Structure 1
Amino acid sequence: MDALFSQHDLSTRNGLSSVLRAHSVALNRTLSALSNQTSTYAKTLQTMIAAIDEDLKALDEAVPGERHFADPAPDVHPLGLIYVIAGSTLGARILLSDIQASGDPKVAAATRYFACPATSEMWKSVSKTLKCWSGQPHEENKIVTSAQTAFSWFEAAHSTVQKASNDV
């Protein structure tokens, strides 16, 4: 996943908006797969998506509308999905300095998603849950499979956004 997203220069409007759009698609897909839409994880995803929308507005980009996914969400374990997202937010903190160092003031100001404070708590929660976890082997397999599913959603989102930008 890193190789896909690292090809974008986050210090430019095009690079940052492409990454933000792909993350929006993947996060919305993940949110739609969570069975408990009022969970702390779901609320954090909603906060992250709202931060992306604000960053896109700051870049003078259109905000994506509500997304509906044609394929039903597979039977996923939320911990596997959230593990991937929470882990990626740790990398986002490192990339934040690239955005802030942009010579384009609109890009430098579009940091809500990459600096989203709610994601720190998400990682702490996932980490604590995993440390205390004592599930069954079949559940462990479901968590791993769900993490792989989350990675595939990010890859598909990247592909979708790239295709749309190439079609313009």
Structure 2
Amino acid sequence: MTDEITLRQRLRLETAADHARVDGLFSQFDLTGPVGLGEFLSVSYLAYDCLGEVLQPYDGLVPPAPPLEDILADLSSLGRPRPDWLQRPSLSGIHPLGVIYVIAGSHLGGTILHQRWRASDDERVKGAGRFLTFLSDRACWSEFLRFLPSVNIGQMERNHVVESAKACFSLYETACRYVMKETAHGANRP
């Protein structure tokens, strides 16, 4: 077994619980209605706003640019304001490969979210699909998988990549809980 496969397996296995928590939170958003879609977009904006500072190329692998303008346009279509953190989380020292793993992987789930959004009969919701269309493009995941075998890093750096991916998932979880707490709809959630 090669180190590259070990890194991919480590990322998948050691972030599985973090990934499942975020998926569970995101599954609570009804993307076919303006409230649920607005909450989802708010979470995405808050997370990408923080990640914009650390979403950097790694050894030639260039992640997609944070789609903040698309998210803001979708929020505006729904009549929602730009969300802001009361206290912005810090991601200083995070390894870019761990962030790219989470962001690129989110495009796999983005395909499913895009399908859910397309099932809406609400014209306002249908007019707010820029970000979900962006998220349904799997090219960055394919690029990540092609790139990963070329990664030649030691154990300590692999640990840093895994911990950084976990921190990225934690950011999404924090943003979800923040939005759920801050919205009237979220006040009714468990």
Q: CA deviation at 1:68?
A: 9.1
Q: CA deviation at 1:133?
A: 1.3
Q: CA deviation at 1:119?
A: 4.9
Percent of aligned pairs with the same amino acid: 31
How far apart in 1 are the matches of 2:105 and 2:92? 21
Which stretch of structure 1 is more off in the superposition, 69-78 or 92-101?
69-78
1:21 aligns with 2:42: yes
Aligned position for 1:45: 65
Is residue 111–residue 136 contact of structure 2 (8 Å, CA) maintained in 1?
Answer: no
**Structure 1 residue runs without a partner (length 5+):** none
Amino acid at match of 2:101: Y
CA RMSD between the two structures = 2.5
2:109 aligned to which of 73, 83, 91: 91
Aligned position for 1:116: 134
Q: CA deviation at 1:118?
A: 9.2
Larger Rg: 2
Q: CA deviation at 1:97?
A: 1.9
Structure 1 residues 74 and 55: alpha-carbon distance in aligned structure 2, compared to 1, 3 A threshold = same
Aligned position for 2:125: 107
How far apart in 2 are the matches of 1:40 and 1:147? 16
Structure 1 stretches (4+) deviating beyond 3 angstroms? 67-72, 117-121
TM-score (ref. length: structure 1): 0.84
